[in-house]
Structure 1
Amino acid sequence: MPARSPRSSTPARSSTPARRRPARPATVNHHGIHLLRSGTAVRGLVESAGLGPDSLVLDLGAGPGTLTAPLARTGARVLAVERDPEFLARLERRFGAHPKVRVVAGDLVTVPLPRRPFQVVASIPYDLSTRLLRRLLPDATGGASGLAAADLVVEWGFAQRVCRAVPRDLEAARWGATYELRVVRRVRAAAFTPAPAVDSAHLRIRSRPGLAGRRVRRVLYAMLAEAFRRPDQPARTAVAEVAVRSVARRVLGDAGLDRGVRAGAVPVDRWADLARSVIDLSRRR
């Protein structure tokens, strides 16, 4: 059975000369839903998640349950979230009696998230990717998220944007500094039925070590806010927002960064290093 896939906002269309009788059109995809049908892609997502009997995993937009079934076979506890009534009925028939699967009627961008640590393995509608990451990843106040890891199918261009070594904007910088975001593989459009107009990507999200505390996140986000307010200023000025200048100079050197490097040119993973170093040095003073 296929798994639910991203929505495509730009479905492919064919143009036929007026003098020719057009070929019989393919089934019209009124709802913009594309179902993942590649066993290779499904296995890659589940294997990457590394689930076990103690894991809690969310299959957001579960569709007919193609991801739900292999996720359940790992022994993990699975929450299959779906809003479409027809898909919900199919999920209930398949998994209603399964001891490890709970079918949840709800929208993936509004359904309450677990309080205990959880993972997400899902194929996400293209037009909901940004909203979902805003829900899953920590906010600008430094608050922690319950997300332990995620393996998502998202639109290829979106994956490329959020995985940039030097982010374009503050929001992407917060995500990339707190979590490692990496494209595992390209998922071709032919892996879906019907095929969307563009390829997708397997996006892997994992927490960066040493950023679990609320204080270190606040330091990190304060530096990022200053850095992206004026990207052309020296990075040491952004660090000085949260530390004395002597500490700012030292942490830049410890991170292997030139003292004159522009704030907007600092790789996203280095900001996490800087935040940890600021906390460590501040404690020693």
Structure 2
Amino acid sequence: MKSNETSAGPRLLGSADVRRLAASVDLRPTKTLGQNFVIDPNTVRRIVRVAGVGPADVVVEVGPGLGSLTLALLPVAARVVAVEVDPELAARLPSTVAEYAPDLAGRLDVVRADAMRVSELPGPDPTALVANLPYNVAVPVLLHMLETFPGLRRALVMVQKEVADRLAAEPGSRTYGVPSVKAAWYAAVSHAGSVGRSVFWPVPNVDSGLVLLERREPPTDVDRSAVFAVIDAAFAQRRKTLRAALKGWAGSSAAAEDALRSAGVDPSSRGEQLTVADFARIAAVRPARR
């Protein structure tokens, strides 16, 4: 039995496999698309294990690339829908699955699309998101998928360590900001481990981290876009007090102060001190424009 093959599943991609597949499509990984491919089978096994995917799950995978993670997901999920923007990689993935896991090829759907523009997927709605997200678009893609597919109950994403820290940050911490609060609107967010550089080809110049998101109900029935508008305004000038930062949002400093006091928030506090529930209360009492 080869080192990247187990009795419980298909062969997984090692370093030589990834390079061979890349050569077959004349792929030269680019920083622009954030193309860093996992070459360590143990890493993708770990991702699938931490994600908690089971036989009832329909998994959406964003950016499957050459198929390293896809091959690890197929044995444990009911279906995997892979969303790939690169046309050559999208075209190659079914052949890779047919080669490495022929008995599981029927569980795969490949959607050739930009994940930020996806509004529907083939088959049943996805219940889990598992992905190695390109560093440059990780947060907007994650938030778009959570908003577009409310049936997603869990997400496990691998992102740049700095992004992982921001997503999982708590109020009051140095890394707490817009990604932290917006992710918290949808889910309970937590660190799920670190990933070293050596498991990728080409080797990135940053470390990576795993982030686990478990869906929960929003803290209020206030419109999401209204809450996100407050969040954006508060952090656009994060050094300012909320009374000053929300001046434009409310119409004046006095109106911002009134709204903050009505929401039970100290006008002299700053955005990084507030929870998503605090922002929701502020959005709910926005003063009428004159």
- TM-score, normalised with respect to structure 1: 0.65
Q: 2:222 aligns with which of 215, 233, 246?
A: 215
Equivalence for 2:195: 187
Name the counterpart of 1:67: 69
> What letter corresponds to residue 263 of structure 2 in structure 1?
A
Match of 2:158 in 1: 153
Q: Which residues in structure 2 correspond to 1:229-244 (within 5 Å)?
A: 231=238, 232-234=240-242
Report what 2:13 is aligned to: 2
Aligned to 1:48: 50
Q: What is the DSSP-based 3-state SS (H/G/I as helix, E as strand, rest coil) of the residue aligned with 1:67?
A: helix
Shift of 1:57: 0.4
Which of 115, 131, 134 matches 1:122? 131
Residue number among 175, 179, 186 corresponding to 2:183 in the alignment: 175
Q: Which structure is higher in RCO with an 8 Å CA cutoff and minimum separation 6?
A: 1
Aligned position for 1:135? 144
Q: Percent identity?
A: 22
2:5 is aligned to none
Is this contact kept in 2: 1:210–1:276, CA < 8 A? no
CA change 1:65–1:228 in 2 (3 A) is closer
1:93-108 superposed matches below 5 A = 93-94=99-100, 98=104, 101-108=107-114
Residue 214 of structure 1 deviates from its aligned partner by: 5.0
Measure, in 2, the Cα distance between the counterparts of 1:144 and 1:86.
Answer: 26
SS in 1 for 2:56: coil
1:266-277 aligned within 5 A = 266-267=273-274, 270-272=275-277, 275=280
Q: CA deviation at 1:78?
A: 1.5
Structure number with higher helix proportion: 2
**What amino acid sits opposite 1:183 in the alignment?**
H
1:30 maps to 28
Superposed displacement of residue 262, structure 1: 0.7
**Aligned positions, number:** 241
Runs of 5+ unmatched residues, structure 1: 5-27, 253-258, 280-285
Instruction: Give a deviation string over 1:230-273, Cα, whole Å, max 9, x none.
Output: 653357x97997x9777523xx5xxxxxx465132324xx2236
Tell me whether 1:263 sits opposite 2:278 in the alignment.
no
- 8 Å CA contact 1:57–1:120 kept in 2: the answer is yes
CA contact (8 A) 1:29 1:194 kept: no
> CA contact under 8 A between 2:260 and 2:267: conserved in structure 1?
no
CA 1:224/1:56 → structure 2, altered by over 3 Å: closer, same or farther?
Answer: same
**What is the CA–CA distance in structure 2 between the aligned matches of 1:87 and 1:144, rounded to whole Å?**
24
Q: Cα offset for 1:151?
A: 1.0
Contact 1:96 1:103 (C-alpha < 8 Å) held by counterparts: no
Q: CA deviation at 1:104?
A: 0.8
Distance 1:75 1:104, change over 3 A: closer
> RMSD in angstroms over aligned alpha carbons?
4.0
The structural deviation recorded for 1:145 is: 4.1
Q: C-alpha displacement at 1:211, in angstroms?
A: 0.8
SS of aligned partner of 2:206: coil
Equivalent position SS for 1:147: coil
**Letter of the structure 1 residue corresponding to residue 164 of structure 2:** A
Equivalent position SS for 1:262: coil
Structure 2's unaligned 5+ residue stretches are 1-11, 16-25, 285-290
Of 234, 246, 249, the residue aligned with 1:227 is 234
